[in-house]
Amino acid sequence: MSETEKDGAAGLVRGLGTWDAALLTIGSVVGTGIFITTGDMAKVLPSAGLILLVWAAGGLLTLAGALTYAERGVLFPRAGGIYHFIREAYGPLWGFLYGWIAFLVIMSGGNAALGVAFGEYLGSFLPWFSTRHILLAVPIGFWHWSGTWSLSGGQVAAVAALVVLTAVNHIGLKEGAWVQNALTALKVGAIVLIGVFGLLAAAPATNALTEPHHAVPGSLLAAFGVAMIAALWTYDGWYGLTCSAGEVRNPARSLPRGLILGTLAVMALYLLLNVVYVRALPIAGMTLTSRIGETAAAVLFGPRAARWVSLAVLVSTFGCLSSTILYSSRIYLPMAEDGLFFRSLAKVDPRYRTPVRSLWAQTAWSIVLTVSGTYDQLYTYVVFSSVVFHAATAAAVFVFRHRLPDAPRPYRTWGYPWVPGLFILACLLLIGNTLHEKPVESLLGLGLLVLGVPAFLIFRARSLKRLE
């Protein structure tokens, strides 16, 4: 096989073209957040204009990240993405720590959260699968602590979704990409329909566009920063394509185009939906709903329309989970090949050419987090670490420009050094805000990260012993 067909190091088939790459980027980002987050923003922002400005600014910062990451993706077009960038720039320990926290919480916990969100929306149509439908409750106690472990229908739906989508991704990249592309096309189509009909529908006399500014506690700059955090988390997942770089055909062309086109498409979709929201609801109305997408549809089109939006969210969440399972499992394959993780996870299925053991190991841990109900708490702990790694990854573009000045770069970051510099600055501001707003969670997250150091030493010692 040629390089355009197979990644020689990992044995993965290069089957993703430009449009597959763009759809993977869209699918990795658009989940439940865009149908929920604006309501939280309205609690701190005084006007529709500022809400739309936050979504535009968040999109531009995400685009800056995509433009920056694309250069590293074509420089190291292998499975693993951020793991490779961090390892090559700062050494194997830091690469391992990213993979460690990704497996422990960021990716596995994110998959668990998406799965339970899928179950919650499925419960809107089939109440048995609701997270409020408790199937089992078991009292547990340890030392002076006592509590109750429960299993809900939503958790069962999450486990089923995780298993089904992992099985689809197991049987081949084409099959996994086909399912992901179909789901992405469905949710993009649904969002466009909601947006177009939402713009054509008659807006209520009182809505956020017609309201004057209202007072909010604290400074406007601080409020904008809090809302920006919510927007950036809703844009999260844009970097997923770099983890699957080993499966992109002609990565020098398709990877940057897929990242950039996908990010621009997400930005356009998010702005479109938010224009509909501010046309439909006043600021006060936004603050009173936890599902702004459904509420806005009910106001513009009638109560039955909210059910259709729930269905769109259900498809969107399922599609996002499919994309995330596909790309995140590629992180652990090169770690295992480097001897810095369980060696068995380096196995690529000889028939399907997929990292089957990485896929199922990640899903097994996601299921543990799902049924334990700890994924939400754990995820808040690693928010700080996640942003630190994004800042370090963006800074790697400067490291590689200095260290590898003559390396072939079919794509160079547009606007260098200002674009990556802006992204790093945004990450540093977010790090500072996270430390200020959630100091305990940030320190606990760092604690989970530090636990990776002895794990790294153990894996490295075992790897060196095999070489003796």
Give the C-alpha separation, 198 to 193, whole Å: 8
Per the CB < 8 A criterion, the answer to whether 102 and 328 are in contact is: yes
Residue 77 CA to its chain's centroid (Å): 20
pLDDT at res. 444: 82
3-state secondary structure 262-284: HHHHHHHHHHHHHHHHHHHCCHH
| The pLDDT of residue 242 | 87
Question: Measured between alpha carbons, how far is 19 from 257 in angstroms, rounded to an integer?
Answer: 9
Would you say residue 11 has pLDDT above 70? Answer: no
CA–CA distance, 235 with 220 (Å, rounded to integer): 22
Cα separation of 247 and 401, whole Å?
A: 25
Token pair belonging to 249: 């055909």
In a domain, 268, yes or no: yes
296: closest CA among 445, 195, 436? 195
Rounded-to-integer distance, Cα 289 and Cα 432, Å = 29
Residue 115 lies inside a defined structural domain of this protein: yes
Let me know if residue 439 belongs to a domain. Answer: yes
pLDDT digits (tens, 9 = 90+) for 199-216: 998 888 777 777 766 555
Portion of the chain with pLDDT greater than 90, in percent: 35
Is residue 397 a contact partner of residue 146, using CB atoms and an 8 Å limit? no
Return the ∠ at Cα 424 (arms to 406 and 238), rounded to 5°.
Answer: 85
Q: Distance between CA atoms of 256 and 250, rounded to whole angstroms?
A: 10
Lookup: tokens for 366: 């996601």
Which of these ranges, 236-245, 371-380, 384-393, 397-406, has the smallest mean pLDDT? Answer: 371-380
The CATH number of the domain where 312 resides is what?
1.20.1740.10
Whole-angstrom Cα distance, residue 68 to residue 423?
8
Reply yes or no on whether the pLDDT at 100 is more than 90: yes
3-state secondary structure of 374: coil
**In the predicted model, what is the mean pLDDT of residues 239-266?**
88
Q: Which residues of 417-454 are buried (b: 16+ CB within 10 A; e: fewer)?
A: eebbbbbbebbeebbebbeeebeebbebbeebbeebee
Beta bridge partners of 468: none
**pTM of the prediction?**
0.87
The position carrying tokens 């224009």 is 275
Domain that holds residue 145: 6-467
| Lowest mean per-residue pLDDT among 7-11, 100-104, 292-296, 437-441 | 7-11
Which among 103, 82, 67, 102 has a CA at the least distance from the CA of 392? 82
Tell me whether residue 1 is in a domain: no
User: pLDDT higher for 127 or 215?
Assistant: 127
Cα 347 from chain centroid (whole Å): 25
Q: Is residue 421 part of a domain?
A: yes
Is residue 341 included in any domain, yes or no? yes
Report the residue count for the chain: 468
Among 86-100, 222-236, 374-388, the minimum mean pLDDT is found in: 374-388
Q: Number of structural domains, the chain?
A: 1
Q: Position 273: which residue type?
A: L
CA distance 394 to 198: 37
Q: Supply the angle between the helices 418-437 and 439-450 in degrees, to the nearest 10.
A: 110
- Model confidence at 350: pLDDT above 70: yes
**pLDDT at residue 312 is higher than 70:** yes
22 lies in a domain?
Answer: yes
CA–CA distance, 172 with 401 (Å, rounded to integer): 36
